[in-house]
């Protein structure tokens, strides 16, 4: 699917703010075809000088907490402030069919209707960490296209949320009133990774319940802080439907990022993100090499030796790695 104008022409169109060019570029970098790999890398090299100026916001939380609706309300608030907003919504892929519903765009209908926004649903395709394999590249493309706030809505809370934290300047965790059981099910790690927590769905009569839940959560977080946890996340109560608390939520996020930028913590976070990205790419390349090697007679021989208990899996793995390294 390589662009007929080449990566250079596509990069120029992206920097000029052409939405269709951005959509084509994301499709290109998400492609798993070897024929697209070189063009994809050339495109990313070309747009790299135009990246790094957007605020990168990760949004996560359990299913049903209202992440998409809150992103819709937050995005429209940002547009009113003169920002340009891009949303990368990661949808879970079926483990059976590999397909994805890709329904987040329908839950952000008002934001999607505004020409100043760009919303791209992407299937996770089995990637861990709540994000897709090429989310980082898509973020860079959105930045190069001039979007000042890039929001990544993750699949949801799991044990791999470190990936969402690694690629964002601020990680927003969205919860709902009465989420005590869900909190019990979460590992302490996600609460420590979150920079800001929004107790959402404070709608009408539920507002008092949401504020009570936020107070209870605040007490729990203070216990973490006393036991050596990182800086305590900021807490806000929101209603995505009525937009109660949405401006305050954004002020909290912006202030948190500004503070980290002033202290140098944001630069360190982004350097850590780039290093993590490098290691993810190295692991992906090794997995691809392993998959290609699955057809080799040497690997089948090692499998037979393991199955017959003539070799341990540990020794067989080391022998195979030594063999492939010698051939490289």
Domain boundaries, the chain: 1-50, 52-262, 277-327
Q: Please report the pLDDT score of residue 114 as a whole number.
A: 93
pLDDT tens sequence across 14-57: 999 999 999 999 999 999 888 899 999 999 999 999 999 999 99
For the domain made up of 1-50, the CATH class stated in words is mainly alpha
CA distance 66 to 238: 10
CA distance 291 to 208: 54
Q: Please report the pLDDT score of residue 92 as a whole number.
A: 60
**Helical (H) or strand (E) element with 89:** strand 85-91
Nearest residue to 224 via CA among 232, 216, 234: 232
How far is residue 172 CA from its own chain's centroid? Answer: 11
Q: Please report the pLDDT score of residue 104 as a whole number.
A: 57
Q: Please report the pLDDT score of residue 147 as a whole number.
A: 98
Q: Please report the pLDDT score of residue 129 as a whole number.
A: 47
Nearest residue to 201 via CA among 246, 163, 152, 231: 246
CATH fold of 52-262, please?
Rossmann fold (3.40.50)
Nearest residue to 189 via CA among 131, 230, 135: 230
Question: Which residues of the chain, if any, have pLDDT below 70?
Answer: 1-5, 92-106, 124-131, 156-161, 179-189, 224-230, 293-295, 326-328
**Are the beta carbons of 84 and 116 closer than 8 angstroms?**
yes
User: Which pTM was predicted?
Assistant: 0.85
Q: Please report the pLDDT score of residue 159 as a whole number.
A: 46
Structure tokens at 98: 């590999």
Cα angle at 188 between 273 and 74, to 5 degrees? Answer: 60
Give Rg (Cα) of the chain. 22
Nearest residue to 88 via CA among 153, 137, 134, 165: 153
């Amino acid at each position: 699917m390589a662009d007929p104008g080449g990566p250079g022409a596509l990069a120029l169109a992206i920097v000029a703010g052409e939405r269709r060019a951005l959509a084509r570029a994301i499709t290109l970098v998400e492609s798993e075809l070897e024929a697209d790999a070189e063009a994809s890398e050339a495109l990313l090299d070309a747009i790299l000088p135009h990246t790094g100026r957007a605020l990168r916001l990760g949004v996560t939380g359990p299913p049903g907490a209202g992440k998409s609706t809150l992103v819709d309300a937050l995005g429209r608030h940002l547009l009113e402030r003169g920002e340009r907003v891009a949303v990368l919504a990661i949808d879970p892929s079926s483990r059976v069919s590999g397909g994805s519903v890709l329904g987040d765009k329908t839950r952000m209908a008002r934001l999607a209707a505004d020409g100043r926004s760009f919303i791209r649903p992407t299937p996770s395709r089995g990637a861990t960490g709540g994000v897709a394999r090429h989310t980082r590249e898509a973020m860079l493309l959105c930045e190069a296209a001039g979007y000042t706030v890039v929001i990544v809505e993750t699949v949801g809370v799991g044990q791999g949320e470190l990936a969402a934290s690694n690629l964002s300047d601020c990680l927003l965790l969205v919860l709902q009133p009465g989420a005590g059981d869900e909190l019990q099910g979460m590992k302490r790690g996600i609460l420590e990774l979150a920079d800001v927590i929004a107790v959402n769905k404070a709608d009408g009569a539920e507002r008092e319940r949401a504020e009570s839940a936020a107070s209870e959560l605040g007490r729990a977080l203070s216990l973490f802080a006393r036991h050596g946890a990182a800086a305590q996340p900021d807490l806000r109560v929101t209603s995505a439907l009525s937009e109660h608390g949405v401006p305050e939520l954004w002020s909290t996020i912006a202030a948190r990022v500004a503070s980290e930028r002033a202290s140098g913590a944001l630069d360190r976070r982004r350097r850590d993100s780039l290093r993590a990205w490098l290691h993810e790419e190295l692991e992906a390349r090794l997995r691809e090499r392993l998959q290609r090697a699955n057809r080799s007679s040497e690997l089948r021989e090692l499998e037979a030796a393991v199955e017959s208990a003539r070799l341990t899996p540990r020794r067989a793995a080391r022998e195979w790695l030594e063999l492939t390294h010698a051939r490289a």
